Amino acid sequence: MSKSEMIVIGAGVVGLSAALALQARGLPVTVLDREGPAAGASAGNAGAFAFTDILPLASPGIMRKAPRWLLDPCGPLSVPPSYALRIAPWMLRFWRACHPSRVAASTAAQTALMDLSRTELEPFLAATGTLPMLRKEGNLQVYESQAEFDASLPGWQARADHGIAFRHMTAEEMAQLQPGLAPRFTHGTFTPGWYSIADPRDYTVALADRFRANGGRITIAEATELTRDGVITSHGPLQGRVVLAAGAFSHRLARTLGVRIPLETERGYNTTLPGDAFDLRTQVTFGGHGFVVTRLSSGIRVGGAVELGGLTLPPNFRRSQAMLEKAASFLPGLRTTGGKQWMGFRPSLPDSLPAIGPLPGHGNVICAFGHGHLGLTQSAGTARIVADLATGARPPIDLAPFSPARFRG
């Protein structure tokens, strides 16, 4: 392998999108993954291109809800007791990121990346032959009371300030858009610009197929150590410039070059039911309970929530069951039999922004990880930035907010 070759570590949606963007610039690319395409969070996510989701998880609102949520081990946000001490430094950084001034800066940065990702998405899908998989069915956020709806309004104002279209709805209007909602939901907000993919696993596999068809190589091996001229793998060393897109495992590899990045793991849970389990016409978000219900080509997926539990604790599938039971009460016609449970790792940084840019002190490594819930959403935009950085072009947005060096000191 020549030193000019690119090695993309990670065959998830971000890594494969970056690999295809690099190919489009004429660079030779190898993708390295210990399991193969779509083996992690890229297979089990909700399938949304959530371009309107510009508000960071780290915010005053989440801090107000967190104490109540943390008391429920199956609730929207939980930390297993055995992991609480280990995650305390990350939680302190998260708390600091909730300061209003930092939230405003994070929102502006997130919006810039969202706008870029939206612009890049359809050309990328067309170039990779995956445009028929795109759906434009919107998202309905529902509320259980006037008070809950009123509490959401500052967030909607922030979206309006950034030019995001939405429409508030009464219960009667929601029933026309999405029949079958329980009467407990009194208010809603519909965002038409919330797109989705037919199935996230199928999409990621299709990207892998296109990458191979373009002459790319996907190597099944574990990256064990980054070096100044490449990466050491379980099959031996590889030389070349590196794109680090290994999701929740990325910080472990960064540490092999002496760089510590405070990446944590949001363990996401879901249950995918048969496609006829409910007549779902738009994605529905139950924000007060931290989960969504999505129609995919593979079925009806009920999932979400945040469990900050790292990479090694066993799954707690009671969380999947709890969400499914809630979904059955929120959508009374939902049939909950025949489902398949899943747990995956979302890579999250404490300020809710990904790490995109050179690894501090190591210009041969481009970071592209830490997207949290938004890996699929921001994949095309991230791919554009990675290709620009690799070819010496100027990225279309300011990368300072996403710098992997921002956590130093």
Closest CA to 271 of 210, 366, 335, 209: 335
276: burial class by Cβ within 10 Å (0-12, 13-18, 19+)? exposed
Residue 244: DSSP 8-state: E
DSSP 222-291: -EEEEETTEEEETTEEEESEEEE--GGGHHHHHHTTT-----EEEEEEEEEEPTTS----SEEEEGGGTE
DSSP secondary structure letter of residue 120: H
Residue 361 is inside which H or E element, if any?
Answer: none
Q: What is the pLDDT along the chain (409 residues), one digit of tens a residue?
A: 344 799 999 999 999 999 999 999 999 999 999 999 999 899 999 999 999 999 888 777 776 666 666 657 767 778 888 898 999 999 999 999 989 899 999 999 999 999 999 999 999 999 999 999 999 999 999 999 999 999 999 999 999 998 999 999 999 999 999 999 999 999 999 999 999 999 999 999 999 999 999 999 999 999 999 999 999 999 999 999 999 999 999 999 999 999 999 999 999 999 999 999 999 999 999 999 999 999 999 999 999 888 888 999 999 999 999 999 999 999 999 999 999 999 999 999 999 999 999 999 999 999 999 999 999 999 999 999 999 999 999 999 999 999 999 998 5
> Cα–Cα distance between 317 and 249 in angstroms, integer?
22
Provide the whole-model pTM: 0.94
Superfamily name and number for 1-59+100-134+194-262+350-409: FAD/NAD(P)-binding domain (3.50.50.60)
Distances (CA, A) of 174 to 26, 140, 155, 189: 48, 8, 20, 9
